[in-house]
Chain A
């Protein structure tokens, strides 16, 4: 029996003999066509075509494969989870979306519906935010993978008619000094990936003229086999220009770049583990970046938007035309008629299925009412961008694809969106790490300097300078603050000329805590993202969740994923901060095992007047320094333990009610003008935060550890100095404002721990009032800039 029957047409088209195939052969078909469907799904497809009494074409099977992929359909998050305590209907509905549904804030305009989450900003303006992952492509080709990650997320913003105004990027790599001989075949060295990814991100954002304003870089052995690349974008959207209403007869246009073989099966690739053969097999899955094409595309789309000539728009990303057309038809209860030969190609001789699933970059799907077609084409022509009508939406709910006059696919749209429900099993065994056992080091100055130069704490200046963070001229608080390039907690933008209102963008990520407990990793990431936002004056904060996990078909991976999701619900709900958008990237596995489970939380807040924003640098000698929040002996997963060769077990927790009170009060104090500088305590704890504040401002400080509010008995200076307990801040207060400030902080744990001094001396007195750290700002800054350079 032949599995593939060539159709007698003047182009490449195969009929897949699914009707006669047995289970073995069904899986063989799935494998050979690279559609990545499992047996249950293949059987469902077989059943569908049995009812139609015919075999599918390659176009049809590919279309289903793309639509049902983990990447496009998020089967795991939407599927059923079986735990020892019972069933979870859907991770997404039970934990993530539930926060937003229960809080239901009036300022959330569109959440988890569109390409991006949309929230209210000022007057008629809304803000759209999206964060994506581009891990798999970046592992194969770091420059192209990262660049197209940026390009893709920018199109997500354009896909809700918003004008992109800023980008973010969070990257995780293996250690830069990882021994070459330990790298498995097919895995690229972290240094190569690091350089390529950073260059790719800068290339795309800079060329498009969108400032990259916030981000983070993590280094850990858990990323050697799987690099993690998160790309975010924020856009500005006049609310009355948001149009989403497709009608029967509306014209489908492909706009932007041409379609080629780059990016075939990107979503299938993204839904599989990386292996030695990935380079060979999946190289075509990585797209080629052309930011100038997207810059022109953006101009044309914004003009079409401003004249309200379109009826809908969406990105041609994962799954290409196949998922974009299907999803849009499904959303509006329509069918579609497509003439594939009209799609402009980079080169001839592409098979119809390739055209339909290609993920070539810089393309979008634009839908316009017939009467506006001419005007829209004129706009694209004047911007030197191709726009090509390829079909129209129909009323019958059937997708019909033609090629050179032949019908090559005919599928019921509802069938495309009813894949068999995925069932995942869960297992969670809490890990137990060795109890760290080492005496308090004699020289804590040395420990502090070592921490400052450690990979996860050291200055990112040499990377950030290669990203244009000032273009558009609206970056009020920049990622590098002042002459000494201090590490700002969050970026502040002033997007509107006529308003002082600002947008505050920050993030939180604590993969090291996840080794102990993914629940507290997720909780800490939320707390950190909020801390960073609040530290500059942000409030009314919306969150985005981005999960990077291992193979969800393995119960232990699912076990940790469920724990992280549980924290997302409980902690975000406690803080009153809704999720507005998110994305999951699963199957991040390599011969080295699963990726370090990683949750990135992006926080987007507002500040009513940017002139009230606060930065981290100490401002003047004589000013007082307070620590807000309580310190616990929570060093599990800390950078200090890492330095000492331990993971530990006492992972930082979040006491959400206390934390919320503290943050609310801090924002009030900022509004009252009582705070001269503010910095959050994170990696490296109090010691590192103090150093960063001091050298960023160019003044020394004098601190007494004995005055730090402790929640439990801690007798070691190093633990007080380097504990990473959440929900803590350092603030600088003018001596004249001492009483006002302390009245403000009544009932909130706070300790007046020292003051800013005129000299460049950095001095910390220990619990017994003996000097435990003594150094200069130059020494501190030198260490801090020694790892990646300044």
Chain B
């Protein structure tokens, strides 16, 4: 399909707050992005099926009460689970950034080894060290080609993107940790890992790994590679002037690393449909 025909649905509820800058990234790439309140889908005024890409942006959906992302995840699955499955079956991509990642995990969509799971198979637990942390980090693309959001990013290359959250420590159930990690790697579902500037793995070391994530996991995709969840905010690393020390450069670059994620999925959509 043509780029300008691509329709992006950026969903929001009370507490969503990164929708505008996420839309700005898609606008810049020439696709048609709309910010849609979840109520519009619930009340049938908008149809999920009319869109090609679904985005859960960052924020604190419903105040992140209970657990981050839990309320919206359950509500979404209960009300529109079927529509979502149809959407995914067509291999239309879904992106969850920060709170969006938390929602996708709480909804059982990620890691989604075998489609949507009834119960969450992983969690984004409270940070270690605890507390909200807003900082730029380095992440390495570990995906071998399955994920449609990293297709334009060379394998093993390092991206610089900020995080800002207090619940971003990716964990599997302790007793199945090893097995599930193997499965994740085997399926090529591991996408981004926190690392040092030079690309060396963070190995849990703070602040390179800002939240104590297991295996330095910053982002994963589902078994088909069409759903990506990540804690870093690519929309905050879209333009060169958003970099934390662009004033050190001779000339401000036009774009920053986060753009690659948006570009990749649009590339996928233009080829696939």
Contact = CB atoms under 8 A, between A and B. Distances in A.
A685 interface: no
Interface in B126-141: 131-135
A473 B242 CA distance: 7
With a 10 A CB-CB cut-off, give which of B131, B162, B248 has the most chain A CB atoms. B248
Interface in A580-621: 610-611, 613-615, 617, 619
Contact of A465 (B24, B134, B242): B134
Interface stretch (A71-79, A82-90, A475-483): A475-483
A290 B62 CA distance: 11
B134 A207 contact: no
Contacts of B24: 473, 497
Interface residues of B, number: 35
A468 B40 CA distance: 29
B59 interface: yes
Interface in B228-254: 233, 235-236, 238-239, 241-242, 244-245, 247-248, 252
B39 interface: yes
B114 to A, nearest CB: 34
Nearest to B237: A473
B244 A471 contact: no
A467 B134 CA distance: 7
B134 A466 contact: yes
A619 B248 contact: yes
Interface in A470-502: 470-478, 480-483, 494, 497
Contacts of B63: 207, 290-292
A401 to B, nearest CB: 32
A239 to B, nearest CB: 20
B159 to A, nearest CB: 16
A384 B21 CA distance: 23
A785 interface: no
Given A207-B60, A383-B37, A611-B241, A466 B14 contact: no
Given A292-B63, A472-B21, A497-B24, A206 B132 contact: yes
B20 interface: yes
Contacts of A478: 244
A382 interface: yes
Nearest to A469: B134
A292 B40 CA distance: 19
Contacts of A481: 244-245, 247
B17 interface: yes
B200 to A, nearest CB: 16
Contacts of B235: 473
Contacts of B16: 209
Contact of A615 (B15, B37, B238, B247): B247
A178 B55 CA distance: 49
Nearest to B21: A473
Contacts of B20: 472
Contacts of A382: 37, 39-40
Given A383-B14, A481-B245, A482-B244, A470 B233 contact: yes
Given A465-B135, A466-B134, A471 B242 contact: no
A642 interface: no
B164 interface: yes
Interface in A679-708: 697
A471 B15 contact: no
A592 to B, nearest CB: 31
B88 interface: no
Given A382-B37, A476-B241, A470 B164 contact: yes
A96 B59 CA distance: 40
Interface in B1-27: 14-18, 20-21, 24
A632 to B, nearest CB: 31
Interface residues of A, number: 44
Contacts of B18: 209, 471-473
B162 A209 contact: no
Nearest to B13: A384
A contact patch SS: loop
Contacts of B244: 478, 480-483
Contacts of A352: none
Given A465-B134, A494-B241, A611 B252 contact: yes
B55 to A, nearest CB: 15
B128 to A, nearest CB: 15
B241 A466 contact: no
A295 B17 contact: yes
B134 A482 contact: no
A473 B241 CA distance: 10
Nearest to B59: A209
A487 B216 CA distance: 29
A482 B135 CA distance: 10
Contacts of A471: 17-18, 21, 58, 164, 236
A64 interface: no
B17 A473 contact: no
A188 interface: no
B134 A610 contact: no
A208 interface: yes
With a 10 A CB-CB cut-off, give which of A296, A384, A465, A468 has the most chain B CB atoms. A468
Contacts of A291: 60, 63
Interface string B151-186: 000000000001010000000000000000000000
With a 10 A CB-CB cut-off, give which of B235, B242, B245, B252 has the most chain A CB atoms. B245
A465 B15 contact: no
A384 B134 contact: no
Nearest to B132: A466
Interface string A282-304: 00000000111101100000000
A292 B59 CA distance: 10
B14 to A, nearest CB: 4
Contacts of A206: 60, 132, 164
A368 B139 CA distance: 50
Nearest to A484: B245
B247 A384 contact: no
Contacts of B134: 464-470
A168 to B, nearest CB: 16
Contacts of A207: 15, 17, 60, 63
A202 interface: yes
Nearest to A479: B134
Contacts of A611: 241, 252
A610 B241 contact: yes
A473 B15 CA distance: 17
Contacts of B62: 292
A623 B231 CA distance: 39
A209 B58 CA distance: 9
Nearest to B22: A473
Contacts of A292: 14-15, 60, 62-63
Nearest to B242: A473
Given A207-B17, A497-B24, A617-B248, 10 more contacts: A206-B60, A207-B63, A209-B60, A292-B62, A383-B14, A466-B133, A470-B134, A473-B238, A473-B242, A611-B241
11 contacts: A206-B60, A290-B63, A292-B63, A465-B133, A466-B132, A466-B134, A468-B164, A470-B233, A475-B242, A482-B245, A611-B241
Interface pairs A-B: 5 shortest CB-CB: A209-B17, A482-B245, A473-B21, A292-B63, A296-B14
